[in-house]
Amino acid sequence: MTEGPVILGVDLGTSGIKVVAVSEDGSVVAAARCGYPTSRPEPEAAEQDPRDWWRALETAGDEIARTVSPGRWRGIGLSAMLPTLVELDAAGAPFGAAITWEDARAEQQATDLRVEFGDEQLYRITGQRVDGRYLAPMHARLQKLGRAGTTTAGAKDVLFHQLTGRLLTDPSTAAGSAVFDIERGTWNDELAAAAGISRLPDVAPAATALPLAQPWRQRWGLSGDVPVVLGAADSVLGALGVGAVGHGDVGVIAGTSAIVLGISDRPTRDPAQRYLVTPLSGAGWGLEMDLLAMGSAFDAVAGLFGLDGPAALLEAAGAVAAEEAPLFLPYLTPGEQGALWDPTLTGTLQGLRLGMGVGHIGRALLSGIVVELRRCIDVLAVTTGRSGPVRLGGGSAVSPLMWQDIADATGRDVWVDPTVTDHSAIGAALFAAGALGSPIARDGVSSVVEPRAGRYDWWTDCLARHDEARLRQCGRDGR
């Protein structure tokens, strides 16, 4: 085991917490993960117990401490899923279950906000295309049910509070509330009042650092102060973790969902509102689209066939040519927040024939997801005026079949490092290192996948077939 200082990156994700230790040369010297359950007490519900988060943090942190002496820890950076609502009581403790971004029960409250303020006004102020998965409508729904707390916060806000004793949010996390003015950098009181929100965390720069609280220092045997850097949203730091940092760069973080984030030096709004505008952890803006079904879709379909997870499904898919697969509209969450942004979309499988098996269905699902990734990446290329490589990472991006499909479908090189998957946690560590005055560079990629000649046109036709099927399903002529 090499000696020397390390920075820890912590990512509070949808299915588990990830902790990595990154050394001065950019190598990941230790990584740990601990999962927690999601409760689904009624249709469209997705709830978690914050106490499970802290137990998972204890477990993952303990594992890192056994591998890398806490005496080498020089700082901790944070990232978390977004948007995920945590209501707090007057004492600052979680009040009821956390409502994760997978929860779709607040669509009516989101509709009420859009009707009151108008889609264009909301998008201009917040940079967001507001639906029921934002904190404001989630809070409004809980308030209507008499289950709202005193303070409305996000998952990373309470993670920082847990580790430091101070409740703060950063601009990228605040953007997931639907009541944050992204260019002014302040809460919008009128929007907050309309959602019934009375108290929100103070907004601070992502580079804000406070000492690790004494109980955590004692647990891990730390003798001195270790600064905890506030950090940013998982999308923002995931892009940093895969190396998407300059204007026109595109990062794709494939996890439970898939984040497609283009880097821009300007907060350019899209007239069609096909992407979100998110403040980055430093200078610049993220133009973001989120495919709601990615790893979750692979996992669900694998489970239907009794397979041992997404890897087994993609292995079976690799034995089937894309041309031989049926057509799969991959909107299984339901709804979509990619370039289409339609909460009414549902998954559809068309073209099944006798003789087809699980590999055909897995291949069709992968093709459907790649079609949506291409749709997003094409929009970003037009907006930024650049079409460079796609930088791919995340726990669901481990299949070479997927890498090649994305390269072929976009006509762009795909850069991927298959040796690591926790890119939001890595991005949190890299950002924290820079914020603490000791920047770390992770140069180079392990694999560059080039597009194959002639395949781009096939994927163009594939996208057209998916659009035709989607529009038939929706009973409309297009958007």
pLDDT tens profile 279-308: 999 999 999 998 988 999 999 999 999 999
Please name which of 76, 159, 28, 19 lies closest in space to residue 431, comparing C-alpha atoms. 76
Query: Is residue 341 scored above 90 in pLDDT?
Result: no
4-19 pLDDT, tens per residue? 999 999 999 999 999 9
Q: Which two tokens stand for residue 227?
A: 């600064």
CA distance 196 to 246: 38
Residue 356 burial class via C-beta count within 10 angstroms: exposed 0-12, middle 13-18, buried 19 and up? middle
Hey, is 243 helix, strand or coil?
Answer: coil
Which residues does residue 80 pair with via DSSP β-bridges, in sequence order? 12, 233
pLDDT at 445: 66
pLDDT at 462: 97
What does the pLDDT read at residue 314?
96
User: If pLDDT is split at 50, 70 and 90, which confidence band does 475 have?
Assistant: confident
CA 180 – CA 192 distance, rounded (Å)? 9
CATH code of the domain occupying 244-422+432-474: 3.30.420.40
Closest CA to 347 of 323, 322, 372: 372
SS3 253: strand
Q: What is the tens place of the pLDDT at every residue in 303-332?
A: 999 999 999 999 999 999 999 999 999 999
CB 18 within 8 A of CB 425: yes
CB 204 within 8 A of CB 186: no
* pTM, 2 dp: 0.90
DSSP-assigned states of every residue in 20-66? EEEETTS-EEEEEEEE---B--STT--EE-HHHHHHHHHHHHHHHHH
Q: How many CA atoms lie within 13 A of 56 on its CB side?
A: 23
Q: What was the pLDDT predicted at 477?
A: 42
Q: Which tens digit of pLDDT belongs to each residue from 260-271?
A: 999 999 999 999
- pLDDT in the model for residue 442: 84
Equal CATH topology for 6-235 and 244-422+432-474: yes
Q: How does pLDDT run across 441-465, given as a tens digit for each residue?
A: 887 667 899 999 999 999 999 999 9
| Mean pLDDT of all residues belonging to the chain | 94
What is the reported pLDDT for 420?
85
pLDDT of residue 1: 41
CB atoms within 10 A of CB 281: 30
If one compares 377 and 395, the residue with the highest pLDDT of the two is 377
Which of residues 3 and 185 earns the better pLDDT score?
Answer: 185
* Burial (0-12, 13-18, 19+ Cβ within 10 Å), 235: buried
pLDDT of residue 2: 52
Q: What confidence category does residue 476 fall into, taking pLDDT thresholds of 50, 70 and 90?
A: low
For residues 22 and 60, give the distance between their C-alpha atoms in angstroms, rounded to a whole number.
15
Using 50, 70 and 90 to split pLDDT, how confident is the model at 257? confident
Which H or E run includes 252? strand 250-254
- Contact between residue 178 and residue 137 where contact means Cβ atoms under 8 Å apart: yes
Query: Which residues are registered as beta bridge partners of 387?
Result: none
DSSP string, 366-384: HHHHHHHHHHHHHHHHHHH
Per-residue pLDDT at 419: 83
What do you get for the CA distance between the two ends of the chain, in Å?
56
The pLDDT score that the predictor gives to residue 99 is 98
Q: Which amino acid is at 287?
A: L
> Is the pLDDT at 169 greater than 70, yes or no?
yes
- Bigger pLDDT: 398 or 195? 195
CATH topology of domain 6-235: Nucleotidyltransferase; domain 5 (3.30.420)
Q: Which pLDDT score is estimated for 350?
A: 95
DSSP lists the bridge partners of residue 478 as: none
pLDDT digits (tens, 9 = 90+) for 406-434: 999 999 999 998 888 899 999 999 999 99
- Is the CA virtual torsion 118, 120, 126, 128 positive or negative? positive
Sketch the domain layout of the chain as residue ranges: 6-235, 244-422+432-474
Segment 213-252, tens digit of pLDDT: 999 999 999 988 999 999 999 999 999 999 999 999 999 9
User: What average pLDDT score do residues 52-67 get?
Assistant: 98
Helix and strand numbers (H, E) in the chain are 15, 23
